[in-house]
Every structure is written in structure tokens, then in C-alpha cells.
A and B are shown apart, each in its own frame.
Chain A
């Protein structure tokens, strides 16, 4: 059963992909592409953690914003937890009602270094919302998003 369990769980994960996202690794080499300005509109990188009580509300607010501007906003969630916890990360995202968005998790042995590469002006506090616009401008917000901050993040 010990050997069978991972296979069954994988089968579950694949079978349940409609409700739980597939979490992909984010390594240092992937950071430039993540931060590359999109061709149009904006990319919102939502940095969160399993041990963050403030993150879920922000994720849901950003998902609502994305659904209101589907053509302009590309939403990506990045868990600062290890990709080894992908099952728990996927379950939390599904429970928060964010199944459909690209999801990443840290795949570096030195996560603070990854924090620094993503945003040197970030002390690792979560949630952290990074907005990268097609014109190259960026907005970074730490903490649960307020209504005013969501308006600022929304495409013009």
C-alpha cells in the first residue's frame, strides 16, 4: 500500500484536476520569465504561503478582479512553500476557490534568495502582490489588499 498510495494519489490528482490545480515548480531560472512584462494588459503575481492567514482573502479578491477583466489580467499564484508540499498547496487553492489559475511553488533550497530575486524590496511577508504591466511598470503591495489597492491594481 505504501508504494501504491502515491500512484493512487497521483491518479486522484489527475482525475480531480478540474477542482485542484497542478502546482508547477518555480526555480531561480524561471524568475525572469515570471517577471517579463506581458504582451498586453498586466500579470498579477500573487505570492502567498500555507502559513498565512491573510492570503486567502487577497487571492479571492484578485480572482474576482481577474474574472472582471479576463482579457487584461493574467493571474499567477506562487506559494513560497516548498514544491514538495504541492498536494497541500493544491488542496488549499481548491478550497479557496482558485482552481483555474496557473499555480507555482518554490523549488529552490534557498527560498530567501528566491524572494530576493523576485523582489529585493520584499522582506518575505505574505501576502505580497506584484503587478507587472505591459509597459514595464510595476506595483508591489504587501498585506491583505484593500478596496483602494484593488482599484489601483485594476487595469485602466
Chain B
């Protein structure tokens, strides 16, 4: 073999070795991030929808590192051309329990949040942008929390209170980090929140809602009749009992008042990836839906009574049932959930006409052979709809009137 080819071989070998010594395939991670910004536990079907006062349906979804806003004036049959919310692409959690959120302000403001993963696993920032011109343009995204440590701030939830405050809650890792640095055991993470009194121009310094909450389940927010926003979220009680807590997200300085709201005693050191749903009726009844698996998988409906066992509990589904949501108007209560089987997905619905004491039998209102996202119940003009994002396209499924 010639000296020249030996030298070439040595150079190539050295180059190869150097490349393989790079931090664990940084290039490949970057490429994978472009395909799916989050952990890709499930397909990237994270999308949210909301009606504005005129009945226009707003939809936010994610493509290639951009949150996109679209609207529909014909109940989801056709969608407008997307408007980019964040012109600068960034990684976005958009699979499983993660989805960008949209909420409408009292003057047609369009508020959008999402969670942006950082380089390390389980880390992120909660991001916010708004449109004050009916969705034509969105503001430059901001991070809503003041703590910018590269730790967990993700699983954002968004709501608008009765007086127009923008309220954002998320799962936060700072308390776990501090506890572990001090050598103190800490189960789960914490739930934190902030609010804006000025249409999202500025956000108040964030406040802790509760220590020891689940790390990987979405938070449900709902507006109460007094205009306040309440949260239902999975906590970690005692030795890893993953039951739920309910709390009002005060925006006037009052201390947080979380109380245990479910008592299934599902003891598990795991990531359930299944958060609850919440709706509060004009009669202040707190309608909750949640998943637990203390006796095998189960999706439940119940009327939550902070500190006490829920009333009128009803098992909605068992094996293959997941990701429920709930809505209430007058005496009508709608519950929906995904049911998976060997043949595909079914969107299930049950309706109560007596405030959730009794429900009509479960019925299938849509099916999909393609993967589906979590269903989201929406109310407009006295009727209920389920926003159901599938790999085959977005669907708005009518769920009936009272």
C-alpha cells in the first residue's frame, strides 16, 4: 500500500473518530427535533381550539417549529390560511398531553401559549404571544416566567378570567431542584402560575400553586361563575398517590388554596401522561373527569368537593379509554373521551340533562383509523362541539344542544 493512501486512511480514520466523539449525536438530535419538537411519545397532534364571541372558531397547531393560527367561520369545515404566531422557529412540545393553547379575551384578543423544550430532557420554557388585531399579526413571543433556569417549566395551561386577566399555569421544577440540592427528598414537581392584568403585555411574578404535583400531566383550567379561574391537576400525595388537586388561581395576592379533589389512591412512581378535565357550572358545581389505574385503567366523571370524595362518580371507560374532557351549561353536562381498540379510535360522548346526576348511555360520535389528539369540548351558542385533531385532519364534531 502506498504511503499516500495510508496517510489518507489515517486522516479519514481520525476525522471519523473525532466526529464520533462529538456530544451524543448532537446533529441527529437537531434533525429529530425538526421532525418532532417534543419527546414524540405520541404523534405531534397537539392542537387547541376556541370560539370567539362572534362564533369564529380559532385553531392553533404546530408545524416545523411554528405555532400556526387558523380560523373557521363554518364550524370547522374549512380553515383559513394559517398565520404564523412565532416567526422564528423554535422547538415546541406538541405531542400527547402537550399542545399549544388558544384563549379569547373579552375584546376579541387572541392569546396563545406553548411549551418550548430546551436541550436537556424534561426542561422547557412557557411561551406566550397575543394578537390584538383579530389574528392578523401576533406579538413577539415572550417567556411568561421570570425564572429562566434550564429546568422544567412546561405543560402550560391558559385561561382568561371574567375580568379579562390572562392566566397561565404550568409544571415547574425549581422546588424539586432546590430540595434535592439541600438533600431533601421531593416527589414530583410543583405547579406554578402567573397572570396579566394588561392583555398579556406584562406578566406578574409567578407564584406557586402547590408543591409535589405530577411531572407529566396536563393542567385543566376552567372559569368559575364569579369569573375566577380554577385549576384541576394531578398531585403527588403521601407516598406517590397520584390523585388530583383543585385550586383557585387568585390574581389579587390571596394565598393559593389547593385541596385534594380525587381519592382513588393510585400509587405509582410513573409518568401517567394523562391529565384531567374541569368545567364549573353556573350553579358552581365542579364537574371533573380524570384517569387513574388503581384497579386497572379507568376514566371517571365526578362532582368535585375540595377536601372530600367526589359526588356522583361514574366510570366512563376502562381499558383503552383515555384523555377525557367535560363541559357544562345550565343542567346539561357533556363528557367525551378517546376509546382505542384493535380497530382504531372512537370518540365517545355521554350527556347528562340533570346536572351530572345521571348520564345517557355512551355513544360513539366519530371514529378514526388515524392517530388522534386529546378531544376538547367547546361550547358555542348553546351547543357543544368536540375539537378532535387527527392525523387525517382537524375535525369539529357536533355533540348536541341541551
Q: Give the B-binding residues of A (Cβ under 8 A).
A: 5-6, 8-9, 11-13, 15-16, 49-54, 80-82, 84-85, 87-88, 91, 94-95, 109-113, 115-117, 120-128, 142-144
Which of A88, A113, A124 lies at the interface centre, i.e. has the most chain B CB atoms within 10 A of its CB?
A: A124
- Flag the segment in B51-59, B102-110, B270-278, B359-367 that touches A: B270-278
Instruction: Determine if B40 and A85 form an interchain contact, defined as CB atoms under 8 angstroms apart.
Output: yes
Selected from B35, B240, B271, B369, the residue in CB contact (under 8 A) with A51 is B271
What per-residue 1/0 map shows which CB atoms of B46-83 lie under 8 Å from chain A? 00000000000000000000000000000000000000
Selected from A16, A88, A95, A124, the residue in CB contact (under 8 A) with B273 is A124
Selected from A49, A94, A115, the residue in CB contact (under 8 A) with B271 is A49
16 more CB-based (< 8 A) A-B contacts, given A80-B41, A116-B341: A9-B25, A12-B16, A15-B16, A51-B41, A51-B121, A52-B270, A52-B271, A54-B270, A82-B36, A110-B370, A123-B322, A125-B270, A125-B274, A125-B293, A128-B270, A143-B240
- Which residues on A sit within 8 Å (CB–CB) of B32? 84-85, 87-88
Which of B43, B270, B271 lies at the interface centre, i.e. has the most chain A CB atoms within 10 A of its CB?
A: B270
Instruction: Determine if B340 and A143 form an interchain contact, defined as CB atoms under 8 angstroms apart.
Output: no
Instruction: Determine if A120 and B20 form an interchain contact, defined as CB atoms under 8 angstroms apart.
Output: no
Question: In the bound complex, how far is the Cα of B344 from the Cα of A113, in angstroms?
Answer: 7
Q: A117-B342, A123-B291, A126-B270 are in contact. Are A51 and B216 (CB under 8 A)?
A: yes
14 contacts between A and B (CB under 8 A): A9-B28, A12-B20, A51-B216, A51-B271, A51-B273, A53-B121, A53-B215, A54-B269, A87-B28, A88-B28, A113-B341, A116-B341, A123-B291, A125-B268
Selected from B38, B216, B341, B391, the residue in CB contact (under 8 A) with A109 is B391
Judged by a CB distance under 8 angstroms, whether B345 is at the interface is yes
- Which residues on B sit within 8 Å (CB–CB) of A13? 25
Judged by a CB distance under 8 angstroms, whether B314 is at the interface is no
Selected from A5, A15, A144, the residue in CB contact (under 8 A) with B270 is A144
Instruction: Determine if A16 and B20 form an interchain contact, defined as CB atoms under 8 angstroms apart.
Output: yes
Instruction: Determine if A12 and B36 form an interchain contact, defined as CB atoms under 8 angstroms apart.
Output: no
What per-residue 1/0 map shows which CB atoms of B192-213 lie under 8 Å from chain A? 0000000000000000000000
Question: In the bound complex, how far is the Cα of B319 from the Cα of A156, in angstroms?
Answer: 30
Distance in Å: Cβ of B336 to nearest Cβ of chain A: 16
Across the A-B interface, give the 7 residue pairs with the lowest CB-CB distance, nearest first.
Answer: A51-B39, A144-B269, A123-B297, A87-B28, A143-B270, A143-B268, A91-B24
What per-residue 1/0 map shows which CB atoms of B333-348 lie under 8 Å from chain A? 0000010111011000
- For residue B176, which residue of chain A has the nearest CB? A53
Distance in Å: Cβ of A11 to nearest Cβ of chain B: 6
- Which residues on A sit within 8 Å (CB–CB) of B39? 49-51, 81, 85
Question: In the bound complex, how far is the Cα of B157 from the Cα of A137, in angstroms?
Answer: 43
- Which residues on A sit within 8 Å (CB–CB) of B342? 113, 116-117
- Which residues on B sit within 8 Å (CB–CB) of A124? 272-274, 322
Question: In the bound complex, how far is the Cα of B187 from the Cα of A144, in angstroms?
Answer: 13
Q: A15-B20, A51-B121 are in contact. Are A121 and B274 (CB under 8 A)?
A: no
Instruction: Determine if B344 and A8 form an interchain contact, defined as CB atoms under 8 angstroms apart.
Output: no
Question: In the bound complex, how far is the Cα of B319 from the Cα of A112, in angstroms?
Answer: 11
- Which residues on B sit within 8 Å (CB–CB) of A126? 270-271, 273
Question: In the bound complex, how far is the Cα of B340 from the Cα of A113, in angstroms?
Answer: 6
Q: A12-B25, A142-B270 are in contact. Are A85 and B36 (CB under 8 A)?
A: yes
- For residue A115, which residue of chain B has the nearest CB? B340
Q: How large is the interface on B (under 10, 10 to 19, 20 to 34, 35 or more residues)?
A: 35 or more
Judged by a CB distance under 8 angstroms, whether B320 is at the interface is yes
Instruction: Determine if B28 and A110 form an interchain contact, defined as CB atoms under 8 angstroms apart.
Output: no
Distance in Å: Cβ of A149 to nearest Cβ of chain B: 11
- For residue B38, which residue of chain A has the nearest CB? A51
- Which residues on A sit within 8 Å (CB–CB) of B163? none
Question: In the bound complex, how far is the Cα of B268 from the Cα of A88, in angstroms?
Answer: 26
- For residue A9, which residue of chain B has the nearest CB? B28
- Which residues on B sit within 8 Å (CB–CB) of A6? 28, 31
Distance in Å: Cβ of B241 to nearest Cβ of chain A: 12
- Which residues on B sit within 8 Å (CB–CB) of A127? 270
- Which residues on B sit within 8 Å (CB–CB) of A95? 24
Judged by a CB distance under 8 angstroms, whether B186 is at the interface is no
Judged by a CB distance under 8 angstroms, whether B122 is at the interface is yes
- For residue B297, which residue of chain A has the nearest CB? A123
Question: In the bound complex, how far is the Cα of B296 from the Cα of A121, in angstroms?
Answer: 6
Question: In the bound complex, how far is the Cα of B371 from the Cα of A114, in angstroms?
Answer: 11
Which of B40, B267, B269 lies at the interface centre, i.e. has the most chain A CB atoms within 10 A of its CB?
A: B40
Q: A49-B41, A122-B297 are in contact. Are A112 and B268 (CB under 8 A)?
A: no
